[in-house]
Chain A
């Protein structure tokens, strides 16, 4: 079946450096991807999304790259801050048997920013 998985479960980055979080997906029919940030004790928070007709999208300090050839997604965070410490999830949008969209989430990567 379809799955969304992350390459690394944990990542530590020095404050001020850039970080890259990777995600692999297996469903080549997925047409929409989202990155979420989940801080301790909170629900996932939307960061940035990208459609399959794009290969790059930029937000404030974050960039998402999509490589459909190898079914790979990455989240780049520039000039990391202590507040970036969290678990990051990628999610893909697939059409269910009922013709409605649902999200499939990956395992998550815990990002720790070292002061």
Chain B
């Protein structure tokens, strides 16, 4: 069982609000990721980090930003939420072992912007 936690699980907010989605893991993994997923669809990588003070944009362009000040914490921020940001956001972490790169996922945050 992976120890990776996301809060809140559900969030409904109005347009223009600033929000931060929290993600924490207790496994000591160096690598962390944020994915965006529409219901029943594939996961799109929006941000990733390979360690403290290291962040990169993923394959899908996103207006969100991330920070990695501590190994265990990888929050995602939207400065001004819009209805187009409505989606599910999944956080994951991994630690490479030999040639394996298993990512462990949190339960996700389902965001609705009105």
Contacts and interface: CB of A to CB of B under 8 A. Distances in A.
A3 B42 CA distance: 11
A31 B99 contact: yes
Interface in B19-64: 31, 33, 35, 40-43, 45, 48, 50, 56, 58-59
Interface of B: 6, 31, 33, 35, 40-43, 45, 48, 50, 56, 58-59, 90, 92, 96, 99-108
A89 B43 contact: yes
Contacts, number: 58
A87 B108 CA distance: 15
Contacts of B40: 87, 108, 110
Interface in A2-54: 31-32, 34, 36, 41-46, 49, 51
B101 A101 contact: yes
A43 B50 contact: no
11 contacts: A41-B108, A43-B90, A43-B105, A43-B107, A45-B105, A87-B40, A100-B50, A102-B58, A104-B59, A105-B35, A105-B43
Contacts of A102: 33, 45, 48, 58, 101
Interface of A: 31-32, 34, 36, 41-46, 49, 51, 87, 89, 93, 98, 100-108, 110
A41 B92 CA distance: 16
A109 B53 CA distance: 36
A45 B106 CA distance: 9
A32 B99 contact: yes
Contacts of B100: 32, 49, 51
A46 B99 contact: no
A87 B105 CA distance: 15
B102 A51 contact: no
A8 to B, nearest CB: 13
Nearest to A98: B56
Contacts of A101: 96, 101
Contacts of A105: 35, 42-43
Contacts of A107: 41-42
